[in-house]
A and B are shown apart, each in its own frame.
Chain A
Amino acid sequence: MSSTQSFRLASESGVGSQIDCDKPLSFIFNGKSYPGYAGDTLASALLANGVDVVNRSFKYSRPRGIVAAGAEEPNAIVQLGSSEAAQVPNVRATQQTLFDGLTARSTNGWPDAQRDMMGLIGKLGGPFMPVGFYYKTFKAPASMWLTYEKYIRKAAGLGRAPTESDPDIYDHMNRHCEVLVIGAGPAGLMAALAAASSGVRVILCDEQPVFGGSLLDSAETIDGMAAFDWALDAVERLAALENVTLLPRTTANGYFDHNFVTLHERRTEHLGDTAPTLDGRRQPRSRLHRIRARHVVLASGAHERPLVYAGNDVPGNLVAGALSTYIRRYAVRPGKRLVLSTTNDYAYRTALDWQNAGGEVVAVADARANPDGELVERAKAAGIRIISGSAVVEATSDRKGHRVNGARVAAIDIEGFRVSGEVELLNCDTVATSGGYSPVVHLAAHTGVRPVWRDDILGFVPGQTIAAFEGFGVVGAAAGVYAAAGVFESAVTQVKRALASDGIDAEEVQIPIVETFREGAAVAMYQVPHDKPTMRAPKQFVDLQNDVTAAAIELATKEGFESIEHVKRYTAMGFGTDQGKLGNINGMAITARCLGQTIPQTGTTVFRPNYTPVNFGAIVGRHCRELFDPERYTAMHQWHVEHGAKFEDVGQWKRPWYYPQKRRERADGKLESMHEAVVRECRAVREKVGVLDASTLGKIDIQGPDAREFLGRIYTNGWEKLAVGKARYGLMCKDDGMVMDDGVTTCLADNHFLMTTTTGGAAAILEWLELWHQTEWPELEVYFTSVTDHWATMTLTGPEARNLLSELTDIDLDRDSFKFMEWREGIVAGVPARVYRISFTGELSFEVNVQANYAMQVWEALFDHGEKYGLTPYGTETMHVLRAEKGFIIVGQDTDGSMTPEDLGMHWCVGYNKPYSWIGKRALTRSDTRREDRKQLVGLKPLEANVVLEEGAQIVLDPKQAIPMRMVGHVTSSYYSPTLEHGFALAVVKGGHKRLGEKVYLPMPDGVTHVAEVVGSIFYDPKGQRQNI
């Protein structure tokens, strides 16, 4: 045994169930190396080495030590990580399993927790930093907050995030079960055994590495076995069952509607600060289990409640049960001389454990006048001095405040809240207290139901749950049942009831036989009175993590904060990662005392997820980096990548935006700018031939005898006369008469059409068609099937398109036999294809569609033959310029859900005389949609040729008017046209169709006002001759 682990008990003592003395480890804390053992927590190893000060407090920078042994620890919050990338803030030393080489620092304290400069400020500032200090001091002047904040943040906080990328991976796992048991103490183990016996799927989780909970610290026997051995045996029995999943090191952090529970499993954090690889494979460092459970059994146990007394934050003050845990599990007795202050029988176990471990129990101060329970008798028999009707009113410390050196014990009058006798100073180095137990009701509170106070157990228990949490039950200490026999009973009863509600008869489960004690009644005490009034007594801490004192709560109530929620926010009690695990009940009790009311009248604040901090990695899982969001690719995507395309996101699709080339005229090999590339691509299409990957357009196959009728009802224009072999542009309105989508629909055969939609609208339009068919017109015989991904689409466009395509196809491309707005089938580059003569550029165009697996055959062939015609691939930016020159709208860019077909100047596309009504028709006859001053689509031509108006820029008629100006519209699309050698725009302007030739003004934020002329929306080839060549 290492000589430096001076607080470690000898292995002959028979304690230390969780550590392996044959496996020594070393770790670094605040730059100093210490020894420990496998199985230790960082906290137990620090205590074994006599490290008293583990942190500095948040607000006053006081030295702080370890107080508890589990998730409720408020002080020992450390920063973990031996490298920058592996930094983890906010780790509780009590929950961190020790591994060789573990490196940790205190989160607070500068330069470190032992020699703290901020402490000086804390001491100076202490009296001057009352509750609400920040609110009061730094609020005014508001402009100074940014200055103050820098210093406050430096001084405070609970660690820091790494500045380098996390090398680890994380994931999620979805699980379903009939019974989820949260907590593997006696209640949880029993519940799991009872549920598992019926064969249903059971998940049992516990935040600790070893299952057993309080049984691991217990001296009791169960079924004639030591409690520890019974737990071990129960776990073995559960592990052997196929229907049981055991998740140690797994914290249930959030409980959500319909029994959805998130469990955070720390898979490798006990092995290293980054996850080790296994057979060369990365393992997830932690995993978030997303559980859907039929029943949730909450067996989260209880936290022992410390008492509130002066000097209770000095290292050496602990909750009583934590001492039993450190002695029994880790063979650590973190002191020599103990004074115990209690309100109940259970804490006597700690006195006995301390004495059995060779420590001296100086005295037990029992707040009760006549403690007489069986455990009290045992302590008496062991020769322990019991001072009844008294309590530790103050822990004294050395000059630096680094360790307890005495306890002031006095007779007290609980009812009168006063010290009623002489104060006796007892020499000791450790003060342990127990004010009873607080059931861990956090998860129950996540349901939105406030806990209910029970006077008989002096604690809050979960309230009645609501319907969304049907199947929820609480057992054992979490329900306020503490005696072992009752704990087992409650677990079995709850599981039986749960399964019976599903019609499952649980197997008869033997409830273990346990020792029963005669228990003396506990007394209610939270804050211990001091010989000075609270406001003048040395600080009595309620919430150690947030540095909230009893005096602060008293002051808050005096300042008029009466609601417990307001007291919480004013004092910061129960904030942040602590969530009030140790302090909340005491704080409520003090609030109640100050306001002269009961605890139930005062009520409790609500606990929120997460129960303990969850690392971001686990929340994100593998939804990060390249898997953050799906990227949808077309069949030609690799080609685009290889040819240097820049991509634009259109929905989840990656579409080529433009293809920057190396500039020919420059030797430096720099790529073209977007402007240069778009000019080149536009010219290629207008003068030669370009090709666009248009595969992303939505495509819906429509079949059935009523397909034509259906189209007539869904589109604004007519479809009765569209012949087989022909295609037509269609406009869709929502029922409010506003344009929602557009596209070309083709008649393939008498009962067979192919609809195209916008890229972004594909899925929504299919749903729209199904909605109207299924809910309004089920009598129409028609079916819809998405074929978007099936077809790869290549748009060949430009004056040379026919010449190029004719080299590759057997289709007769003659202008008179294959007319504009027709389609043909044939072979293109050896692949069967459907070719559509439709145009979104205004040029002669052929859209070649082939089954996507064969797309690259055709695409490559086009380029093999295309060089002599100047074939140029172009992207969406060029497509936008070319279509805008033609005045073709893009739904969602030139429309915003408030534009009617008429607003867009598309009267030609509305069939008011169709035989059957259609979606939007009625709305289009309303007075509002017929107004003449609606915003209408027009073209804008800036007076200066090189001006490209800003999209979204507001339009005014009088630039000299006072601000706020009357805005009459805005720019929807704006580009530079290489063909026109002029900037141009599409815009919506109130009454715009009657303003052609007028000048409008666009005042910009930089003070410049652009002037533009309102023109028609077609800038190029207004007669549409080029697409018909």
Chain B
Amino acid sequence: MPRFAYFDPHPAQAVTTQSPLHHFVASASGEGSAVALREHAFLDHLILRGEPAVMIDVVQSVLGLTLPTEPQTLVLGDAGSLQWLSPDEWLLIVAAGDGFRLQRALCEALGKSHFSIVDVSGGQTVLELHGECAVAVLMKSTVYDVDPGRFPVGKGVTSVFAKATAVIRRVGEERWELIVRRSFADYCLRWLLDAGEEYGIDYQPAKARVASARKSASNMEAVS
């Protein structure tokens, strides 16, 4: 009997594909922008759940990533990023179209252990803030202490963002990512554009997605 019903959501041919922010246009920032805002749309997002002891070796062998077991941390690697969410919960973000293959590969490697791997790609998106005023924009938006001296590169937290929630993480010296839910994305973007106006926030919409060929012949994949 199949234990899990994994599902490849990506169509085989090019179809209309919309990020939750598809209706926004570029901001008129011009000269002297101190913060840039970009959406990294259409990536594949998987929620991994399991005891660290169960996950750690498999994550290393399948993804080549060290499972972050320290709370509020993330690791970045060639395969993508892996974010600690709770003691038995991680967010894996990988290139568009890789999710389904990795879902099955992880499942196979995890064998009979207890775990869950859930595709949430359609349910959230990644926003990147970049520039010297990125921190100031975040300070207007979250009560979390985002002082770069206290929030090193590689830290990521789930916290209040305006009146919504976001994963807030620092991926580079002046580079921060926000992971927001699809249904709140419009609100979050409006908020960021408003909060960033003072710093001449420069927003460019994500490029329209070019559909990749499906990785599997059948979309119905049951894994036993």
- Cβ–Cβ contact A790 & B122, under 8 A: yes
A633-B8 in contact given A176-B145, A781-B114, A853-B17 (Cβ < 8 Å): no
- Report if A789-B123 is in contact (Cβ < 8 Å); known contacts: A201-B147, A705-B114, A854-B11: yes
- Note all chain B residues with C-beta closer than 8 A to A637: 186
CB pair B119 A827 closer than 8 Å: no
**CB of A627 within 8 Å of the partner chain:** yes
Q: How far is the CB of B23 from chain A (nearest CB, A)?
A: 5
- A791 located at the interface, meaning its Cβ lies under 8 Å from any Cβ of chain B in the complex: yes
Question: Given the complex, which residues of A lie within 8 Å of B19, measured CB to CB?
Answer: 853
Within residues 41 to 65 of chain B, which ones have a CB less than 8 A from any CB in chain A? Answer: 42, 47, 49-50
Q: Is A751 an interface position by the 8 A CB rule?
A: yes
Do B8 and A635 touch (CB < 8 A)? Answer: no
Please tell me if B66 contacts chain A, counting CB pairs below 8 Å.
no
B190 CB contact (under 8 Å) in A283, A627, A748, A749: A627
Report if A830-B15 is in contact (Cβ < 8 Å); known contacts: A626-B190, A631-B187, A752-B4.
yes
Per the 8 Å Cβ criterion, residues 704-752 of A in contact with B are 704-705, 724, 748-752
Q: Would you list which residues of chain A between 275 and 290 have a CB under 8 Å from chain B?
A: 278-284, 290
B4 near A751 with CB under 8 A, answer: yes
Min C-beta distance of B35 to chain A, whole Å: 12
Question: In the complex the two chains form, what is the Cα distance from A284 to B164 in whole Å?
Answer: 22
Task: Please name all residues of chain A whose beta carbon is closer than 8 Å to the beta carbon of B200 when the two chains form the complex.
Answer: 279, 281
> Quick check: B197 and A701 within 8 Å, CB to CB?
no
B182 (CB) vs chain A CBs: closest residue: A789
Q: Tell me if A856 and B194 are in contact (CB < 8 A).
A: no
Given contacts A703-B4, A787-B120, A790-B123, contact A832 B143 (CB under 8 A): no
A13 beta carbon closer than 8 Å to chain B: no
Q: Provide the residues of chain A in CB contact with B49, threshold 8 Å.
A: 703, 783, 785
Nearest A residue to B8, CB-CB: A832
**Contact at A789–B9, with CB atoms within 8 Å?**
no
In the complex, how many angstroms separate the beta carbon of B221 from the nearest chain A beta carbon? 9
Nearest-Cβ distance from residue B214 to partner chain A, whole angstroms: 8
A165 at the interface (CB under 8 A from B): no
Within 8 A of A (CB), among B30-45: 30-32, 42
Q: What residues on A are CB-neighbors of B115 within 8 Å?
A: 703, 783
Residue from the set B1, B19, B183, B186 with the largest chain A CB neighbour count within 10 Å: B183
Question: In the complex, A924→B62 CA distance in Å?
Answer: 49
**Contact A630 B16, beta carbon cutoff 8 Å:** no
B window 188-224: CB within 8 A of A: 190-191, 194-195, 197-198, 200, 209, 219-220, 222
Query: Is the pair A752, B3 in contact by a Cβ cutoff of 8 Å?
Result: yes
Task: From known contacts A290-B143, A630-B164, infer whether A751 and B122 are also in contact, taking CB-CB under 8 Å.
Answer: no
Is the C-beta of A982 less than 8 angstroms from some C-beta in chain B?
A: no
Residues of A within 8 A of B163 (CB): 623, 629-630
Question: Who on chain B is nearest to A631 by CB?
Answer: B187
Residues of the A chain whose Cβ atoms lie less than 8 Å from the Cβ of B16: 854, 856-857, 860
A851-B139 in contact given A750-B3, A857-B17 (Cβ < 8 Å): no
User: Is residue A852 within 8 Å, beta carbon to beta carbon, of the partner chain?
Assistant: yes
Whether B79 sits at the interface, judged by CB under 8 Å, is no
Partner among A279, A634, A791 whose Cβ is within 8 Å of the Cβ of B32: A279
Say whether, besides A635-B18, A830-B11, A701 and B116 are in contact (CB < 8 Å). Answer: yes
Q: Which residues of A contact B7 (CB under 8 A)?
A: 825, 832, 834
How far is it, in angstroms, between the C-alpha of A791 and the C-alpha of B124 when the chains are bound?
A: 11
List residues of chain A with CB within 8 A of the CB of B47. Answer: 785
Q: Check A752 against B5 for contact (C-beta < 8 Å).
A: yes
Q: Which of A167-175, A503-511, A558-566 faces chain B? A: A167-175
Q: Within 8 Å of chain B (Cβ to Cβ): is A632?
A: yes
Tell whether A171 pairs with B42 under 8 Å between CB atoms, given A631-B186, A790-B121, A856-B18.
no
Q: Which residue of B lies closest to A725 (CB)?
A: B5
CA distance A792 to B123 in the complex (A): 9
Q: How far is the CA of A310 from the CA of B147 in the complex (A)?
A: 56
Q: Mark B129-143, 1 if CB is under 8 A from A, else 0.
A: 000000010011011
Give the chain B neighbours of A174 by CB distance below 8 A: 139-140, 142-144
Residues of chain B within 8 A (CB-CB) of A792 are 122
Q: When A749-B5, A789-B122 are in contact, do A176 and B147 touch as well, CB less than 8 Å? A: yes
Residue B102 at the chain A interface, CB threshold 8 Å: no
A854 CB contact (under 8 Å) in B17, B136, B181, B184? B17
| Cα separation A176 to B145 with both chains bound (whole Å) | 6
Candidate in A284, A638, A749, A786 with the most chain B CB atoms within 10 angstroms: A749
A705–B121 alpha-carbon span in the complex (Å): 25
- In the bound complex, residues from chain B placing their C-beta under 8 Å from that of A278 are 198
* B153 within 8 A of partner (CB): no
Assess A750 versus B2: contact at CB under 8 Å? Given A279-B200, A704-B114, A853-B42. yes
Q: Which residue of A lies closest to B181 (CB)?
A: A789
Contacts of A852 in B (CB 8 A): 20, 122-123, 182
> Within 8 Å CB of B50, what residues of A?
783
Collect the chain B residues with CB atoms within 8 Å of residue A155's CB.
Answer: none
Task: Report B45 CB to chain A, min CB distance, Å.
Answer: 9
Closest to B145 in A: A176
Residues on the B chain within 8 Å of A284, using CB: 198
Residue of B114, B122, B219 touching A827 (CB-CB under 8 A): B219
B residues in contact with A850, CB < 8 Å: 9
Q: Decide if B123 touches A176 in the complex (CB within 8 Å).
A: no
Known: A174-B139, A290-B143, A749-B3. A853 touches B187 (CB 8 A): no
Q: Does B175 contact A (CB under 8 A)?
A: no
Q: Which of A632, A653, A705, A785 contacts B120 (CB 8 A)?
A: A785
Indicate if A855 sits at the interface (CB-CB under 8 A): yes
A970 to B23, CA, bound (A): 45
A-chain residues with CB within 8 Å of residue B20 when the two chains form the complex: 633, 635, 852
Q: How far is the CB of A394 from chain B (nearest CB, A)?
A: 54
Cβ-defined partner of A788 (8 Å) among B31, B123, B140, B142: B123
Complex: chain A residue closest to B2, CB-CB: A749
Which of A629, A827, A830 has the most B CB atoms < 10 Å from its CB?
A830
Q: Of all chain A residues, which has the CB nearest B188?
A: A630
A174 to B209, CA, bound (A): 36
Flag if A279 contacts B198 (CB, 8 Å): no
Given A854-B15, A854-B16, CB of A627 within 8 Å of CB of B191 = yes
B10 interfacial by beta-carbon distance below 8 Å: yes
Bound state CA distance, A787 and B116, in angstroms? 13
Contact between B5 and A748, CB atoms less than 8 A apart: yes
Q: How far is the CB of A639 from chain B (nearest CB, A)?
A: 10
Residues of A with C-beta under 8 A to B144:
174
A622–B163 alpha-carbon span in the complex (Å): 11
Known A724-B1, A749-B3, A856-B16; contact A622-B195, beta-carbon cutoff 8 A: yes
B75 close to A (CB within 8 Å): no
How far is A788 from B195 in the complex, measured between Cα atoms in Å?
28
Q: Give every chain B residue within 8 A of A631 (Cβ-Cβ).
A: 186-187
Q: Which residue of B lies closest to A828 (CB)?
A: B11
Are A790 and B120 in contact (CB-based, < 8 A)? yes
- Please name the residue on chain B nearest to A852 by beta carbon: B122
Q: Which of A803-830 contact B (CB under 8 A)?
A: 825-827, 829-830
Residue in B1, B9, B184, B222 whose CB lies within 8 Å of A632: B184
| A521 at the binding interface (Cβ < 8 Å) | no
Considering the complex, give the chain B residue whose CB is closest to the CB of A834.
B7
Does chain B have a CB within 8 A of A71? Answer: no
Which A residues touch B187, using CB under 8 A? 627, 630-632
Q: Within 8 Å CB of A752, what residues of B?
A: 3-5
Known: A176-B145, A789-B124, A832-B219. A281 touches B18 (CB 8 A): no
Q: Per a CB cutoff under 8 Å, which of A635, A832, A856 touches B182?
A: A635
Q: Which of B3, B11, B32, B88 contacts A832 (CB 8 A)?
A: B11
Query: Chain B residues with Cβ under 8 A from A827's Cβ?
Result: 11, 219
7 contacts between A and B (CB under 8 A): A172-B140, A280-B30, A627-B162, A631-B187, A632-B183, A852-B182, A855-B18
Additional pairs, 8, CB under 8 Å, beyond known A789-B122, A853-B209: A279-B31, A627-B187, A703-B116, A749-B222, A785-B116, A789-B120, A825-B219, A852-B182
Closest 4 CB pairs of A and B: A789-B123, A851-B9, A790-B123, A703-B116
